Structure 1
Amino acid sequence: MLTEVIAEANGYLWWVVIGVLIVASLYFTVGSGLAQFRMLPEMFRVLRSKPETAPDGKKAVSSLQAFMISAAARVGTGNIVGVSVAIALGGPGAVFWMWLMALVVGGASFVEASLAQLYKTRSSTGYRGGPAYYMERGLGQRWLGVLFAVVLILTFPMVFNAVQSNTIAGAVSNSSETLGLGSGMGLSAGVGAVLVAATALVIFGGVRRIARTAEALIPSFAALYVLIGLVVMAMNYEAVPGVFVMIFEHAFGIREFGAAALGTVIVQGIRRGMFSNEAGLGSAPIAAASASVTHPVKQGLVQTLGVYFDTLVLCTVTAFTILLASEGPPDGGLEGDLAQQAVMAALGPWALHLMTLIILLVAFTSVLGNYYYGESNIAYMTDSRRVRFGYKIVFLAATFLGALGSVDLIWTLADTTMGLMALVNLVAVAPLAVIAFRLLKDYNRQRKEGRDPVFTRDRIPGLRGVECWESEEEARTGAPAGVPS
């Protein structure tokens, strides 16, 4: 009953979220001159940026590593289970709306990540920042930053983290049953305990260990997952055109029964798309702020590339795998995982265990990304080491309990907290977007002059709250930029 009550409230909440997200994203897209489309080649170029040395004497987080931290949270169960849920509840047409929104919300991702870079602050290992920081430094509204931090901590380290551990437990349970080893609460508890131990080994090593772990794991399992999808497509190549037709027919209600059904398709596609690529949500900018780059726009472009990689590549692989294996719109709800079953149907029973491994790695890296998001916002609110240690313990407890929870309730709660978090972030980003547009103009001006863009805070007169970017004079004399302007 609790799940049904929350789900009904989510229905109203998400129509508001979708309206705000679409209007804001179109504004960001037009205001940036279609940056998420025309600057695609530049996105790949800036990935090679080299980091500076952090105050503790080690290398700061690079642009690529920051990309991997955000990818660790993005490339999670949203790409596999989230797409499965979208298709189960919204039909094949939900995939089209995921695609379309990924292209539109790329503008939101660019703006929020560029702002996070501009208003970041120094830490012993490099930098940290995110929406809470640009709400306080850019808007002068600390209360709004605290509100965002609280909502984010409820969303990522608590609810989303439970989604990841719940998905791992479910995938392992599927494999265990196939092998005749049984399943149940005991197995879920064992999986949760192992996951807690592995997570603790990484998070107690700090942001660098999180970044290195993500950098090591994500390319490997992403390539393997894409390869599996391509194999399934190659085995069913004659049916691929039919899948495209099916997606478009259901996307526009050609086979739906009235506006209510079409509305479900749209909402599920956009909702799961946001859970997957996080554009406009305010989470990816936290990772973006950690990067050491010479211009804020560089990381804005990198994070936009992450949206495309996540939704247009990985989510598409999941969708086609499911639809090709099922030979039509699959019937089913949240019970079980359509992607796992689809791969097993296409490649044989052994493939179920391979998918279990992929889901385990995917969800594990998401757990690490979720932790970092929460830690950054804890640091925003307090410098207390005791509080940070307590956060680690609560986070690990949520990881364990998520493995034991109800999948229906966890996904429903995730929708609620995600919607609230997106609204708070978009309300703050909209008035600050003009600053991101000015940053982009400065970046393009320097590129036209044949230079690798370097930003100094006096290149945009009137900026306030900028701590980490030098003035022209400081850049010439080598004086550090550490005092808020």
Structure 2
Amino acid sequence: MSSLDALIVDVNDVFWTYLLVPLIAIAGLYFTLRSRGAQLRLVPDMLRVFKGKRSDGVTPFGAFTISAAARIGTGNVAGVAAAITLGGPGAVFWMWMMALVGAASAFVESVLAQLYKARGKEPGTYRGGPAYYMQRALGKRWLGVLFAVLVTLTFGFVLTAVQSNTIAVAVEGSLGGVESGWFTPMLGLGLAGLLALAVFFGVKRLAKVTSTLVPAMAVLYLILGTVIVALNAGQIPGMLGDIVGGAFGLREAAGGAIGTAILQGVRRGMFSNEAGMGSAPNAAASAETSHPVKQGLVQTFGVYFDTLVVCTMTAFVVLSANPSLAERGGADVTQSAFAATLGDWGAHALTLIVFMLAFSSMIGNYYYGESNIQFMTGSRSVMTGYRVVVLSCAVLGAMGSVSIVWSLADITMGAMALVNLLSILPLSAVAFKLLRDYQQQRQAGLDPVFTRDRIPGLHGVECWSPEPGSGSADQPAPAKASAATRS
């Protein structure tokens, strides 16, 4: 089994190092240049979108929290610590760079997901994602089905088990000496029961659950992290010097350390914020908004929140508290930092945070699979079977070891990103046309409203129909919106 694990890890390392990481960087830089740095220029617009009026459907903020629930997981606690352990403090700098460049990819994929979304069964609900724009815009349903299968396997099944296992390990470590023979199955059943309450009530209830849970877990983690950094304030100048110096090899003895820092920073950053991977667009498509670009901006903000806020806090906690980096578990490093500064109760507090992070990720992961199951088939029995398997993975994940499953997840997530990036590169021209339309309306003092007749030649667009009497495409904005939605 160990030889199989080693083989999978080796294949995974080659795949990411020589194919996926360069593609991620090239795509992100291309989108940044084509959009004139929209992910940086339009930060004020990102915050403005959150203030938009509420609707009966999933709001932009609700869609943001669904994607954040999947983005912000144990990778923010364990992944960052592992990146520092393997790549040194310099990995943090390259993680930041990955977020700033990769945010352009997140913007493009989420705008496309909004444009090519489909109406859900409940009024005011929508579904969509890469599988939908692969079929509708590229005309390749087989590619959409391939991507849908990858998303369902990776997020719906594998990562549900991984998150469940992470919760079990954290709780066992906190309780100490508990008999795992009976405890982990009971914990797994409890997690499955909680997850069932969320997944059987539809996407609206899902958004309400995550809208409450995600802010609570993020605030708690950031507060405790700020306390730890403040108590170790004397370490901050040296910590920042290590981050910058390590990023360019200024403090490294071996030249290869620079490459390791870059690879660990980019790779862990990609795992954390999922920019360009094709997962977050599944949540982006669920929002009810007046213009696709608005949700693209919301999801771009999600990349920044995940990496520049949550991941950075983990990095600062680890580097300021300076725990031993001999461990390779990742979360153990962060837990040591909490315990070293706050005492034993700090380690218990982190267990609670890990529980909230992992459980909210399970909810978000479920929705990604659900959306793609609906793309492949409308069968109720298939959807019921999917839900049963997801709940089973929650139980089995708590009971088992998932080292090989994690390695397989690396490959399937990488395959998702590869398929998605190769699809959005040719489709990005459509996203940039939508961006120009959005900016023209903003410059005219309007709250942008999009209808599909505003961009001639669009095909495969199900939603965004012009309302009767709204005017023609050559008007600055639909007549109904121009009077009622001036900002």
* Shorter-chain TM-score range: over 0.9
Which SS does the other structure have where 1:403 is aligned? Answer: helix
Q: Which residue of 2 aligns with 1:165?
A: 164
- Matched with 1:398 is 393
How far the C-alpha of 1:160 sits from its partner, in A, is 1.7
Corresponding residue for residue 12 of structure 2: 10
- Offset, 1:182: 2.9
CA distance in 2, matches of 1:198, 1:349: 28
CA contact (8 A) 2:81 2:330 kept: no
SS of equivalent residue, structure 2 residue 399: coil
Aligned residues: 468
- The 1:336–1:109 alpha-carbon spacing in structure 2 relative to 1, beyond 3 Å, is closer
Distance in 2 (alpha carbons) for counterparts of 1:185 and 1:87: 34
Say if 2:61 is the partner of 1:64. yes
Asked if 1 retains the 8 angstrom alpha-carbon contact of 2:130 and 2:278, the reply is yes
Match of 2:135 in 1: 136
Aligned counterpart for 1:355 among listed residues 336, 345, 350:
350
Residue correspondence of structure 1 range 18-417 to structure 2 within 5 A: 18-52=21-55, 59-125=56-122, 126-177=125-176, 181-182=177-178, 184-326=180-322, 330-334=325-329, 337-417=332-412
What letter corresponds to residue 131 of structure 1 in structure 2? P
Deviation at 1:265, TM superposition (A): 2.2
The letter of the residue matching 1:376 is S
Q: SS of 1:322's equivalent?
A: helix
Per the TM alignment, residue 86 of structure 1 is displaced from its structure 2 partner at its CA by 1.7
Aligned-partner residue type, residue 140 of structure 1: G
Instruction: Output the aligned Cα RMSD.
Output: 1.7
Shift of the 260–155 alpha-carbon distance from structure 1 to 2, 3 Å rule, reads farther
Contact 2:80 2:330 in 1 (8 A): no
Q: Give the structure 2 partner of residue 457 of structure 1.
A: 452
Structure 1: which 5+ runs fail to align?
53-58, 479-485
Report the CA distance between 1:261 and its aligned residue: 3.5
- Say if 1:262 and 1:191 are closer, same or farther in 2 by CA, change over 3 A: farther
Rounded Cα–Cα distance in structure 2 between residues aligned with 1:67 and 1:298: 11
If the length of structure 1 is used for normalisation, what is the TM-score? 0.93
Contact kept, 8 Å, 1:61 with 1:290, in 2: the verdict is yes
Which digits, 9 at most, give the CA deviation of each residue in 1:49-105, with x for residues without a partner?
A: 2354xxxxxx11001100010011011112112212222222222211111100000
| CA distance in 1: counterparts of 2:389 and 2:302, whole angstroms | 29
Give SS of 1:463's match.
Answer: coil
Distance 1:85 1:192 in 2: 26
Query: 1:345 Cα deviation (Å)?
Result: 1.1
Tell me the CA shift for residue 334 of structure 1.
2.1
Sort the Cα spacing of 1:19 and 1:120 in 2 relative to 1 into closer, same or farther, 3 A: same
**What fraction of aligned residue pairs are identical, expressed as a percent?**
54
What is the deviation of 1:411?
2.7
Cα-to-partner distance string for 1:331-375 (whole Å, 9 max, x where unaligned): 221275221221111100011111111110111010000000000
| Corresponding residue of 1:483 | none
Deviations 1:207-255 (A, max 9, x none): 1111111001111121111111110111011101111111222222334
